[in-house]
Structure 1
Amino acid sequence: MSRLNLVDASHATLKPIKEKLGANLPPPVRVLANSPAAMSAFFALHGTLGQGQLTPRVREQIALAVGNAQGCRYCVSHHTQLGRKTGLSDQELDQARSGKAPDAKVEAALQFSRQIAARRGAVTDAELAAVRAAGWTDGDVVEILAQVVATTFGNYLNHLAQTEIDIPPVDLVPAAVIDGIHA
């Protein structure tokens, strides 16, 4: 049971979201509908990031790495489904939860994402140098930060609401496996 009200799916606030997502609105969306301003900000941020330089695959891998590091099982389950739709394999999805990827450049972005989350943005010079050395530009770095913020918004919402998982659940990777970066 959610600790916050799940707005009825027939509520007028949810009409435009239902048109985009379909009739079965996920519980986090129904929680967001308690604040039309917050809901608008959430969808605006995610929609704008969808027009950025990061590919859908990389955005989902970042969401998995950050969601796992922040202990949000709902988000990890949700982004596993979305990641599959981008063509990520089960192995890539599993690796992303630990901040790993078969591609070294993507892995650098995932590690950096987890460092941003763990250090609340105050990454070290060495961490910033590492992501740059992997081939990410300053514009990419800012976009990675924005993706971490967008993911954190969803993670924190689900923590606050204690959202019930209404989709196939995915287990978190235990923190001990995630090389000392904990959020």
Structure 2
Amino acid sequence: MSRRSFEVPTAEQVGSDSRVILERLKKHLGEVPNLYATIGYSSHALKGFLEFEDELNHGIFSGKEREAIALIVSEVNGCAYCLAGHTEAAIKRGFSKAETIAIRKGEVENRKLYATLQLAKSIAENKGVPDESLLIRFFMAGYKEEAVIELIGLVAARVFTNYIYATTNIPIDFPEAEPLDAIF
């Protein structure tokens, strides 16, 4: 049985609340990514997700760190859409293409980022129950409880978008990220 793809909705195919939000996104980003347009089928999901993500953007983790977290969680979930979008965003934030690949593999030299990525990966892989040693390593890297909670929030935000793509199979509107198994 083949999976049906969702259509990416036009502005006329979403409710007025979503239309307003998507128009703001278009002004801010220059275009509306297919993922956000698709979330727009539900104005409540779109508004809630964007508000949640915006709050996390003002938290402990820098923009570069948030992109690294997005990359490793999207790698765990095999989300080609989010890997494409967050690879592009990570490069815009200052990572090289090679660094984005290393992040996806969990192979970074920065001790603090390594602890963060390993914990995020464990949270995603183990449905919120990370390996205790990784949690200890995270605290030893200088983080406090607040950072654990925000990290869980960042993982949850990516799981949401990863699952949107997995369910809808919408077209990817970013340059695709290479699968790790295709990289030597």
TM-score range relative to shorter protein: 0.7 to 0.9
* Aligned-pair CA distance for 1:172: 2.8
**Could you tell me how far 1:2 is from its partner in structure 2?**
7.2
CA distance in 1, matches of 2:66, 2:170: 22
Q: 2:10 aligns with which of 5, 8, 24?
A: 8
Q: State how far apart, in whole Å, the 2-side matches of 1:153 and 1:120 are.
A: 13
1:49 to 56, 60, 69: 56
Aligned CA-pair RMSD: 1.9
TM-score by length of 2: 0.87
CA distance in 2, matches of 1:52, 1:98: 25
- Between Structure 1 and Structure 2, the one with more helix by share is 2
Instruction: Output one character per residue of 1:97-155: Cα deviation in whole Å (capped at 9) or x when no partner.
Output: 11222201101100100100011111232221121122222111111111101111111
Question: 2-side partners of 1:141 and 1:127: how far apart?
Answer: 11
2:8 and 2:36 map into 1 onto residues whose CA distance is: 8
Quote the sequence identity (%): 28
Q: C-alpha separation between the residues in 2 aligned to 1:98 and 1:9?
A: 38
> What SS does the corresponding residue of 2:180 show, helix, strand or coil?
coil
Gaps of 5+ in 1: 175-183
Residue number among 85, 88, 100 corresponding to 1:93 in the alignment? 100
Structure 1-normalised TM-score?
0.88
Q: Aligned to 2:166, which of 146, 156, 159?
A: 159
One-letter code of the match for 1:152? V
Q: Is the 2:7–2:170 contact (alpha carbons within 8 Å) kept by the matching residues of 1?
A: no
Q: How far, CA to CA, are the matches of 2:144 and 2:123 in structure 1?
A: 16
User: Unpaired runs of 5+ in structure 2?
Assistant: none
Distance 1:52 1:171 in 2: 30
Query: Paired residue for 2:123?
Result: 116
The within-5 A match list for 1:25-44 is 25-44=32-51
In the alignment, does 2:73 pair up with 1:66? yes
Does the Cα contact within 8 Å between 1:100 and 1:111 map onto a contact in 2? Answer: no
Contact 1:68 1:97 in 2 (8 A): yes
Secondary structure, counterpart of 1:100 in structure 2:
coil
Q: Give me the whole-angstrom Cα distance separating, in 2, the residues matched to 1:9 and 1:21.
A: 16
Task: Assess if the C-alpha contact under 8 Å between 1:92 and 1:102 holds in 2.
Answer: no
> Which residue of 9, 12, 29 corresponds with 1:21?
29
8 A Cα contact 1:75 1:155, kept in partner: yes
Q: Which structure has more RCO (C-alpha within 8 Å, separation ≥ 6)?
A: 1
The structural deviation recorded for 1:32 is 0.6
> Using the alignment, how far apart are the partners of 1:33 and 1:98 within structure 2?
32
